[in-house]
Amino acid sequence: MKKFFSFLFALTWLITSCTNIGSTVGASKIVTDALGRQVTLNSEPSKIVIVGKQAPMLTNFLYLFKTADQKLIALEKRAQSTEDYLKLVDANIENKYLLEKGAGAEQIVPLNPDVVILKSSMRNSIGKPLEDLSIPVIYVEFENVEQIYRDIRIFADVLNEKKRGEDLISNYQELFQQIHKEVAKNNDSVKSSVLILQAVTSDQKYVFSVPAANWLQTDLIEKAGGIPVWKDANQAGGWTDINMEQISAWDPEVILIVNYQGSALEIVNKLRNDEIWQNLKSVKNDKIYAFPYDYLSWDQPDPRWILGYGWIAYRLNPENLTSPVIHSLINNFYEKFFNLEKSVIKEKINSRIAEYLK
């Protein structure tokens, strides 16, 4: 199993950490998390661990802040890993410890963290055992736009970067309004019916599912001026499997294919050549698209959500939003949010998403 640093270094670090469990440096501070809990932290937490569900996305949000590279000491490897991307924003990422998927208290405690960051849904399985050991845990959610803004403020409080947090939110709102201004021009026109499908390969065939009604994907479709045809069928949480009969019954004008392993373009090409799929309006009219994926798919509650919104708006409102406009949005985002150089964006980002904007 790959780890970001050598076993010898890891062992030395863990032994040193274990001898310091319970130590406190500096005055304490109170942070209110997404569950409304008031959590006492060292005023300058310098050892942050991120684990559990959606750990890669939470880590990406943390790296929007200038001191994240100094304070994050460990993260959990999940199915959607962002190791390659983090190398662009943290020159010392290989000195972080990469925990196995499903890491519990027994792996986390020896790291002697000042705080552990978790999704609120992970409280019972991971959070409470840590709380019982007096390890501070901050819960966040990042499931919709409003929660994203709130949880950015929580991260800003944890990292003592409140101004940066407010600047990030202002930048998000500015980009959102720029896109929304173009979307609003079509308010009087007939809205397109849209279907987002996650496609997963199983037994040499595809299994399709739709997101929950209250998830970010659904919200972004509506904000971009589309009608999510699956909304009434999936009021519960989680992705829900659907069959071809249901897809044909909906027969949406636009289909957006998501694949979290980066294969959406390949899947769309195969569906376009499938005789059954060729009966759908979206395929007949060449309006079945692969959701962009650079290092992660843009449809998720990740910092890239604003790019996902812009791309959806571009597909639904091509008369107002053009490919050059979206390219400008991408460059602006990676410069402002992650402080990447233009040359890095061109080589490491634009080269990965060019096919999704054709």
Task: Render pLDDT for 137-148 as a digit per residue (tens, 0 to 9).
Answer: 999 999 999 999
For residues 94 and 186, state if they share a domain: no
Calpha distance 281→317 (Å, rounded): 18
| Structure confidence at residue 252 (pLDDT) | 98
For residues 230 and 128, state if they share a domain: no
> Of 135, 165, 161, 107, nearest to 42 (Cα)?
135
Domain of 59, CATH number, reads: 3.40.50.1980
Model confidence at 281: pLDDT above 80? yes
Calpha distance 252→315 (Å, rounded): 14
The tokens describing 214, both together, are: 């209250």
The full length of the chain comes to 358
Q: Which residue has the higher pLDDT, 4 or 57?
A: 57
For residues 133 and 156, state if they share a domain: yes
For residues 212 and 148, state if they share a domain: no
Query: In sequence order, what are the beta bridge partners of 192?
Result: 226
- The mean of the pLDDT values for the chain is 90
In a domain, 166, yes or no: no
In a domain, 67, yes or no: yes
In a domain, 205, yes or no: yes
What are the backbone dihedrals phi and psi of residue 224, each rounded to the nearest 5 degrees, phi first?
-85, 5
Calpha distance 300→219 (Å, rounded): 11
Q: Are 168 and 152 in contact (CB under 8 A)?
A: yes
For residues 93 and 182, state if they share a domain: no
In a domain, 2, yes or no: no
Domain termination residue (choose one: 135, 160, 185): 160
Domain that holds residue 69: 7-160
Residue range 65-73: average pLDDT? 96
Number of H helices, E strands in the chain: 16, 13
Cα 113 off chain centre by: 24
In a domain, 1, yes or no: no
In a domain, 219, yes or no: yes
The tokens describing 283, both together, are: 């395929």
Cα 27 off chain centre by: 33
Number of domains in the chain: 2
For residues 270 and 339, state if they share a domain: yes
